[in-house]
Structure 1
């Protein structure tokens, strides 16, 4: 279990110096959570995981695959700069919010990664629109799930929590893995070797796949430890997402998504 600064603030509502916060046994504190404890000289109280207050890693609605909504919460105290710890009176144009309580330079690795996920999200929505206009309802719905997962990855990175695993309606993670490694056995077609004669939609799906592979490399550079408390799940999610793009290519070639 990962405990974020937002989890601690949810417990305290209004922090005071020396207040107690409950930290589940065996949990990991994010860097901003540790800074928050240090800033307010908070006293950590360890509790069994079964008795601890639920953290933001749990979904009250049970799913990330939902319609887009404006993600920014403008309530709370003014963010601090991760470079100097200060709370600037006004934000310089070279800074942006790293999380709900910290500014960071726009050259920060996480901000670079976030921008690339944003670009993938835009590409996914564009391809979804193309599929929808072509009357490919099943493909458009699947691409909608991919777009929603881009939003899940951004939310996980911003809130410093593990990302939920990707799921495509009607296909388990294991089934998707088998389909992309043995398309002949699962889908009845061979691995793809597309060329310039292929349909435009197939090429856009291929761009989505290759873009996601590049993005996975960026994520691995940002979170280079396989034991990172939340970054490892983002890297894994992007790895699976590139496979899903390939699955959609295969399904399109076969003549249907599901």
Structure 2
């Protein structure tokens, strides 16, 4: 259990300037001197926690603490909240997809650029669904359904004509970028599990978790197609 003292509160004001609100953990002990100083300075002490955050009703129009952000239209949470971390990872995913598109364009793989553009649009849908609570549509990439993608990733030789890959620098820049992209997708999936798995192991947003799992398989399929030579343009092959 923490303690908020007058000295600590005065130090916060000295460092950060005038405060409208200060948030503390639910079991924090507020010393009488700290409570009196807060009243004198017009500082509202708000009890919160990592998951529930602060409602706009609690703030009543006062300035939002800088270390808080909107979880939805009604509630603010610390920026360390698992769902806010997930949104940051989904932002990172989009950035890595675009970086991979640049490498694919430079290597003369316009079809791969297009497939990654489809993936980028889907990643943006995932972020929107996380924020709004809307459902996630089934993933379809390069003409394949989710189950097709899973089948291709499990049996690349029969479906694509190459054995399972162990990526290395010998395979070039595009494979390196795709391999990194796949690793990022897996990290986003872990973040989704942190955000949505209940203590009993049941998921709150199984659709998002499943979609991310299939996305990592889709990236692996792209890697196999690159190695199989399916993404090079005709002009590239003639050079």
**TM-score surpassing 0.5?**
yes
Which residue does 1:247 correspond to in 2? 221
Deviates more, 1:142-151 or 1:164-173: 164-173
* Equivalent residue runs for 1:90-169 within 5 Å: 90-169=63-142
Alpha-carbon contact 2:149-2:214 (below 8 Å) kept:
no
Following superposition, the deviation at residue 173 of structure 1 comes to 2.1
Following superposition, the deviation at residue 125 of structure 1 comes to 0.8
Alpha-carbon contact 2:110-2:231 (below 8 Å) kept:
no
Q: Deviations over 1:163-188 (max 9, x none)?
A: 22211142222221111100111111
Alpha-carbon contact 1:251-1:257 (below 8 Å) kept:
yes
Following superposition, the deviation at residue 217 of structure 1 comes to 1.4
Following superposition, the deviation at residue 215 of structure 1 comes to 1.6
State which structure, 1 or 2, has the greater radius of gyration over its C-alpha atoms: 2
Alpha-carbon contact 1:187-1:251 (below 8 Å) kept:
yes
Distance 1:199 1:162 in 2: 38
- The yes-or-no answer on 1:238 pairing with 2:208 is no
Distance 1:255 1:127 in 2: 17
Aligned residues: 177
Distance change in 2, residues 1:257/1:177 (3 Å): farther
TM-score, structure 1 normalization: 0.64
Q: Deviations over 1:17-59 (max 9, x none)?
A: xxxxxxxxxxxxxxxxxxxxxxxxxxxxxxxxxxxxxxxxxxx
- The yes-or-no answer on 1:83 pairing with 2:57 is no
Instruction: Give SS of 1:194's match.
Output: coil
Can you give the 5+ residue segments of structure 2 that lack an aligned partner in the other structure?
1-47, 233-239
**Moved segments of 4+, more than 4 Å:** 225-229
Distance 1:127 1:223 in 2: 28
TM-score, structure 2 normalization: 0.69
Higher helix share: 2
Distance change in 2, residues 1:141/1:198 (3 Å): same
Which residue does 2:151 correspond to in 1? 178
Deviates more, 1:90-99 or 1:238-247: 90-99
Instruction: Give SS of 1:99's match.
Output: coil
Which residue does 2:170 correspond to in 1? 197
Can you give the 5+ residue segments of structure 1 that lack an aligned partner in the other structure?
1-80
Which residue does 1:78 correspond to in 2? none
Aligned Cα root-mean-square deviation (Å):
1.9
Alpha-carbon contact 1:100-1:159 (below 8 Å) kept:
no
